[in-house]
Amino acid sequence: MKSYTKYLTFNTKNRREIIRITEEVEKAVKESEVKEGLCLVSAMHLTASVIVQDDEEGLHEDIWNWLDSLAPFKKDYKHHLTGEDNADAHLKNLLTHLQVVLPITNGKLDLGPWQEVFYVEYDGQRPKRVIIKIIGM
């Protein structure tokens, strides 16, 4: 059994962004030399997520609208009593999840049609990390 770890760092220009990272994950799979296994891609912060979705701008807008309808920014969250202003970012993370596990087949990331891997930032403009952990043979 092999294991391989790689870290990606993001420091977004905007507080909220969707960043396609498929190529970086594919590169890590190649570097790992794992032929059959699993690839975990996980945000290391509670105000960001990793998702698998279609890379289509209209859908990305729909995702933001959906998240804002379920976890809108508002000033009266209890979390804000601590001096923070990002409670909505924590709630958006709960809706979209922290991480994804992806299959590796024949040494390649085994994604379906239209599937891309994205880092989704809800409270950016500072350095944040993603871990890619690959295990297999």
**74 and 88 in contact (C-beta within 8 Å)?**
yes
- Is 6 domain-assigned? yes
**22, part of any domain:** yes
Task: Tell me which residue of 13, 115, 113, 96 sits closest to 50, measured CA to CA.
Answer: 96
**Residue 88: in which H helix or E strand, if any?**
helix 87-96
For residues 40 and 29, give the distance between their C-alpha atoms in angstroms, rounded to a whole number.
Answer: 10
Give the predicted TM-score (pTM) of the model: 0.96
Tens digits of pLDDT across the chain (137 residues)? 999 999 999 999 999 999 999 999 999 999 999 999 999 999 999 999 999 999 999 999 999 999 999 999 999 999 999 999 999 999 999 999 999 999 999 999 999 999 999 999 999 999 999 999 999 99
Residue 92: partners with Cβ closer than 8 Å, 6 or more residues away: 47, 49, 67, 70, 71, 122
In angstroms, the CA 105 to CA 36 distance is 5
Question: Number of folded domains in the chain?
Answer: 1
Residue 118: closest CA among 18, 1, 13: 18
Task: Tell whether 76 is covered by a domain.
Answer: no
Q: Is residue 77 part of a domain?
A: no
Domain hosting 97: range is 2-71+85-136
Q: Indicate whether 90 belongs to any domain.
A: yes
Q: Do the beta carbons of residue 48 and residue 120 sit within 8 Å?
A: yes
Q: Residue 12 is part of a domain; what is its CATH number?
A: 2.60.120.460
Q: How far apart are alpha carbons 136 and 32 in whole angstroms?
A: 9
By three-state DSSP, how is residue 98 classified?
Answer: coil
Q: What is the pLDDT of residue 104?
A: 98
- Per the DSSP assignment, residues forming a β-bridge with 39 are 102, 134
20, part of any domain: yes
